[in-house]
Structure 1
Amino acid sequence: MPATALVQLDRVNLSFNDNKVLSDINLNLHANEIVTVIGPNGAGKSSLVSLIIGLQSPSQGSITRKKNLRIGYMPQKLAIDPQLPLSTRRFLSLCGNSSRLQHAIKRLSIECLLNTPVQKLSGGEMQRVLLARAIMQNPELLVLDEPAQGVDVTGQAELYHLLGELRHELGCGVLMVSHDLHIVMAQTDQVLCLNKHVCCHGAPESVSQHPEYLQLFGRQAAEDIAIYTHHHDHQHDIHGDVVEQQAASNHSHCTHNHS
């Protein structure tokens, strides 16, 4: 495994009975890097996440993780019994990491939600609570499965901006699944386009012009991305390597009342 890699997947395959879900997946995840996985429904995105965090084992190939790797996981959704008396404060305290609870609450600006039943949280509020729960692990790798599900477009942009900040604050790697490359590209470093196999992999600008990406998502998706390119604060060469970097000039204020 490369010295700086947190997780390495080498020719990983995953099958259920005779159904091949993932085929020949190679992927390295590094500290201080955001990798976004995109792909159509049924592409195997959530299965890939399950493999990386250790909920499933590959049918073939190998997965190597840094020793004692700390992973913070934010699930796509969480089903909670509507009759269960569970406040947001109690929900977070169940993680058991009380030493980081107050920091997570303050960093995600969810103080006003602590007495609210988790079943009453809006989509945007719930995502912030789940993210607070994930960073309580002081993760070296933050894994988010569709973190913006149920959040409006403005809330999504704010969430992804926040993830970019957390990446620098925690010094962690970030792996997230998303359907909207044009929203996340301002914050992501690498994109993996998945359709049971890796269709293409690289910097978001190059992936957005790749023939297999265009075949899956259409040219309109590439045109949508073009609208957002002015937000991207660095450029890449044809291999996806950063060749120019400048500090972001604007800081977005994040709120948590989007649904």
Structure 2
Amino acid sequence: MRLITATGLTLQQAGKTVMRNVDMHIDRGEIVTLVGPNGSGKSTLIKGLIGALPPAEGKVDTLRGLRIGYVPQSLHMDGLLPLTVARFLCLPHRHSADAMRRALSEAGVPDLGQSQMRTLSGGQFQRVLLARALLMAPDLLILDEATQGLDQPGAAAFYRQIADVRTQLGCAVLMVSHDLHVVMAASDRVLCLNGHVCCEGTPDVVQDAPEYRALFGSGTQGAFALYRHDHDHHHGHDEHDHA
């Protein structure tokens, strides 16, 4: 089932064209990743896809009633404010204790409900943000640089959690990331952006594309292969889900 389709989408910010002539789609259950250098229009494209930025040209068709969960890069919080994780999850909408327990469990942090937000590690904090997005029961989960500030093992663990969430909930995932080797291995499809779509396809296809290598070189391949092995080892049992 197609959740979002962009056709000839051109987006402008402050009168300047940031993304031009994008044709893309997101289907239920797939993990799609946007990669590209700084200023290549990744976050602008997300705004266009979710309707936060109107098209200068082209159009975006969205499945009626589409529910979107959003995990931001980070969230600035007043470190002095006493706020438990459970209280935080109820901002701005209250949720049942059951729903919160389930979301925290799906995010991989089942025991954090009564912890203080200010005591969480970076990885725990991002998983709480993920739990908050999962409370929306999303059809589409959007992660905008959601692992910024996490070390490489922390980022890899977070992406494995995302793969598990996709398997459990059947939602689609749209990610923006700089963690090339990690995120490539976690994706079904990758779009490489630089003001337009330079290349797209499965991770193996994109990392061999001349346009991708021109932007990123081929230096990520060693780490990519290493993570790929680790990822396949963890997720070999998921392959039948795509049949």
Scaled by the length of structure 2, what TM-score is found?
Answer: 0.88
Aligned amino acid, residue 45 of structure 1: K
Contact 2:11 2:53 survives alignment (8 Å): no
Measured in 2, the distance between the counterparts of 1:248 and 1:92 equals: 30
Instruction: Please name the residue that 1:222 is paired with.
Output: 221
1:76-98, CA deviations, whole angstroms, 9 ceiling, x for partnerless residues?
12122334333222110125251
Q: Which runs of 5+ in 2 are unaligned?
A: none
Aligned to 1:123: 122
- Inter-CA distance 120–56: structure 2 relative to 1 (3 Å threshold): farther
1:93 to 90, 95, 110: 90
Counterpart in 2 of 1:171?
170
User: In percent, how many aligned pairs have the same letter?
Assistant: 43
Structural mapping, 1:68-217, within 5 Å? 68-96=65-93, 98-99=95-96, 100-217=99-216
Shift of 1:52: 2.2
Per-residue CA deviations over 1:11-58 (Å, capped at 9, x if unaligned) read 111112332111111110011100011111111111112222232222
- How far the C-alpha of 1:109 sits from its partner, in A, is 4.1
Instruction: State the match for 1:37 in structure 2.
Output: 34
Q: Does 1:66 align with 2:63?
A: yes
Mapped to 2, the partners of 1:7 and 1:134 lie a distance apart of 19
Aligned partners of 2:86 and 2:100 also within 8 Å: no
* Aligned-partner Cα distance in 2 for 1:70–1:106: 20
Give the whole-Å Cα distance in 2 for the aligned partners of 1:15 and 1:154: 36
CA displacement, residues 66-119 of structure 1 (integer Å, 9 cap, x when unaligned): 000011111112122334333222110125251422211233343543344323
Residues 142, 174 of structure 1: 8 Å contact kept: yes
Q: Mark the CA change 1:110 to 1:246 in structure 2 (over 3 Å): closer, same or farther.
A: closer
The separation in 1 between residues aligned to 2:102 and 2:58, in whole angstroms, is: 39
Q: In structure 2, do the counterparts of structure 1 residues 97 and 12 end up closer, same or farther at CA, with 3 Å as the change threshold?
A: farther
Aligned length: 236
What is the alpha-carbon distance in structure 1 between the residues aligned to residue 51 and residue 76 of structure 2? 21
* Preserved CA contact (<8 Å) 1:95 1:133: no
Alpha-carbon distance in structure 2 between the residues aligned to 1:186 and 1:219: 15
> TM-score, normalization: structure 1?
0.83
| Aligned Cα root-mean-square deviation (Å) | 2.2
Q: Is the 8 A contact 2:3 2:28 kept in 1?
A: yes
Q: Which has the higher helix share?
A: 2
